[in-house]
Amino acid sequence: MTADAPELAPVEGRAEIVFRPMLKGDTPFFAHSWLKSFQRSDAVRGVSSETYFYFHHRLLERLLQRSRVVMACEKRDPDRLHGFACFEDLSGTCLLHYVYVRGSRRRLGIGAALIDEALRACKPLPGALVWTHRTKGSDRWLGKYARERRLAALYNPYLMHEATR
């Protein structure tokens, strides 16, 4: 991590885990984690690996140009990454593109804390959470998350494409 990196924000209830913005050196973890985990989703079933990786990598590059990414990392070692949330603030809606947490760090509240951080970053505080990538369990997990926080929740994959907005 560079010396000019922003302050690390602690994850509530998880003193050893903090948030920070994505740094250039995080790109391989970000891209690899997203591409490998989303490849197992029903959304891309039947798409060849070559086609999937080519086109979805291009999509990630475009999303990074207009989105924000929050990384979850170790407080003592900010280069030790546990997950991320990629999102956009879209006119009072938090457009959540993807949330990823390493398998060994799941069920610790990191995913929910990453979404909380994304929601706080959207101004004004959104009343809706929209996600663009459906994965195994995302409907159930994000639906529960939204109910607990009294947010409207909607899956809309078309909003990942700037041309459809």
Q: What is the pLDDT of residue 165?
A: 65
Residue found by looking up tokens 């030790």 in the block: 80
Q: What is the pLDDT of residue 140?
A: 83
17 within 8 A of 114, measured Cβ to Cβ: no
**pTM of the predicted model over 0.75:** yes
Q: Closest Cα to residue 26, out of 66, 88, 65, 83?
A: 83
Q: What is the pLDDT of residue 13?
A: 54
Bridge partner list, 87: 68, 96
The SS3 assignment for 150 reads: coil
The SS3 assignment for 64 reads: helix
The SS3 assignment for 74 reads: strand
Q: Say which DSSP state 57 is in.
A: H
Q: What is the pLDDT of residue 1?
A: 42
Q: Closest Cα to residue 143, out of 151, 110, 120?
A: 151
User: Around 56, how many Cα atoms within 13 Å sit in the side-chain half-sphere?
Assistant: 24
Q: Can you tell me the distance from the alpha carbon of 48 to that of 114, in angstroms, rounded to the nearest whole number? A: 31
- The number of angstroms, rounded, from the C-alpha of 82 to the middle of its chain's C-alpha atoms is 12
What does the pLDDT profile of the chain (165 residues) look like in tens digits?
444 444 555 555 555 889 999 999 999 999 999 999 999 999 999 999 999 999 999 999 999 999 999 999 998 899 999 999 999 998 778 899 999 999 878 888 899 999 999 998 888 877 788 999 998 888 888 888 888 988 888 899 999 987 666
Cα Dmax for the chain:
45
Peptide bond into 126 cis (omega under 30): no
